[in-house]
Every structure is written in structure tokens, then in C-alpha cells.
Amino acid sequence: MASAAAPDHLFNLRINFYLGSYQSAINNSDLPNLSPDDAVERDCLVYRSYIALGSYQLVINEIDSSAATPLQAVKLLAKYLANPHDKESTIASLKEWLADPAIGNNATLRLIAGIVFMYEEDYIEALKHTNAGGTMELHALNVQIFIKMHRSDYAEKQLRVMQQVDEDHTLTQLANAWLNLAVGGSKIQEAYLIFQDFSEKYPMTGLILNGKAVCCMHMGNFDEAETLLLEALNKASSNGGNQIFISLDLNL
């Protein structure tokens, strides 16, 4: 008889992070009985939530040089975003770590590399580190990169991989919505229904509201789009952050 799957202690934390509920992710991160690997992933999600809220210096200050490689990668992202005038040295450090055979294949490091090079609009370099996949976040980032390259055909192939792994995964649904928006036409309504489903299942966030608003604008429903965007801006200001227009680039 097959043994039952181990409980996923980070499930709710991941959902909060993926859907842009960053403060909730931070506030509900005190989770007991985590394995060492889960504790590192938890800390990465919490610090990436702080980054999404613009608290770069907090992340830089709290992650010290003895932290695990995934946390060091997250710190590097905070440095990149906090010091745009000194990004060359941050990118040089990133490339040095990626070239290190001991840590270069770490999934979080490759994810951060993909995010940084996507910000740099160096999509080919980003794909060098993300295209092999390995995690749902890496596949989702690949979808984003291919959409930015106007290659919805390749983005669709990545989405198919995600659907084969877990069709109901939050990131699979998000990637499906992004691709539908990129393709346009009748697919816009499908994207809207995905964001609507999120809004019915989970607390409303700026990310969900923004997604619905973009769909409404594509469909010519500008009054509804304005209402959604005003609500999203209100949520952003009440949270004291700028997460409303942080696209899913920062979530991945």
C-alpha cells in the first residue's frame, strides 16, 4: 500500500505569495515543525514578499553571509533592485555564482537569475538559466519570458508542461491567464474567468484586481476596469507598499 503524501506545510504561504498577498504571507509565516529545506523555502518566500513590498534594505540587512544559497540569491535580488546605479556589480556576482559548479544549478539561484536578466531585457541570457525548468516557478517564469519575446508558441509549450505536472496549481492557472491575455481575442474572457475564480476562492489582492482590470480593458469594459484599478490602488496604499503594479516578475 502506498504511503500517504507528506503534508505541504507551505501551501498557504505559497498561495499568498503567488497571488500578491505579501503582507499576509509575512504575517502567517510562523510555521511549526518545518524541515530544514522547508524552513529555507519559507524564509525565501517571506523575504521575497518583503522585496515585493519594497523593503529591500530589510532583506539585505537580515540575510547574512552564512545563509543558505537560496537566501543569498534572494539577497542578491534585493541588492539589484535597491541599487539600480550599481547593478553591474550585482550582476557580476550573480554570474560568478552561476558559474560555480557547487551552487550554479540551485533552482532558486536560477530563478533569481531569470528575474534579473528579464528586468535587463536580456531574455536569451535569462533562458540559459531557466529553460531547463525543474520547478513550477521556473516554468512559470519561462512563460513570462517567452511572452515578452512575443513567442506565445513557446509559452504555450511551457504551459503544457505545467499542466501535465499539476493542471490546478496556482502558477499553472496564472500562466494560463497570462498566455490568454497575450493571445487576445476570445482568450481574454478565459483569462478574466481565471482571475474571477481567484477572487472567489481567495482574499482579493492588487494582483488579482489588476489582472481583472486588464481583461476588462481588452474587452472594452472601461468603467469596470476603472473601478477595479481604484480598488487595487486603495489596497496598495493601505498596505504601505507599491505592490499593485509589481507584475508577476517579482513573484517568480
CATH of the domain at 79: 1.25.40.10
* Whole-angstrom distance, CA of residue 75 vs CA of residue 60: 6
Which residue range(s) make up the domain with 22? 11-132
Would 176 be classed as within a structural domain?
no
Model pTM? 0.91
CA geometry: angle at 195 spanning 167 and 200, to 5°? 95
- Rounded to the nearest integer, the mean pLDDT of the chain is 92
Would 53 be classed as within a structural domain?
yes
pLDDT beyond 80 at 236: no
* Whole-angstrom distance, CA of residue 125 vs CA of residue 145: 11
Would 247 be classed as within a structural domain?
no
Would 249 be classed as within a structural domain?
no
Q: How confident is the model at residue 7 (pLDDT cuts 50, 70, 90)?
A: confident
Number of domains comprising the chain: 1
Would 174 be classed as within a structural domain?
no
* Whole-angstrom distance, CA of residue 252 vs CA of residue 108: 10
Q: How confident is the model at residue 247, as a pLDDT?
A: 41
* Whole-angstrom distance, CA of residue 174 vs CA of residue 176: 5
Would 192 be classed as within a structural domain?
no
User: In this predicted model, what pLDDT tens digit does every residue of 64-78 receive, in sequence order?
Assistant: 999 999 999 999 999
User: In this predicted model, what pLDDT tens digit does every residue of 147-174 receive, in sequence order?
Assistant: 999 999 999 999 999 999 999 999 999 9
Amino acid at 5: A
Would 39 be classed as within a structural domain?
yes
Q: Using CB atoms within 10 Å of the CB of residue 59, give its burial: 0 to 12 exposed, 13 to 18 middle, 19+ buried.
A: buried
Would 81 be classed as within a structural domain?
yes
Helices and strands counted in the chain (H then E) = 15, 0
- Measure CA 34 to chain center: 22
* Whole-angstrom distance, CA of residue 147 vs CA of residue 175: 10
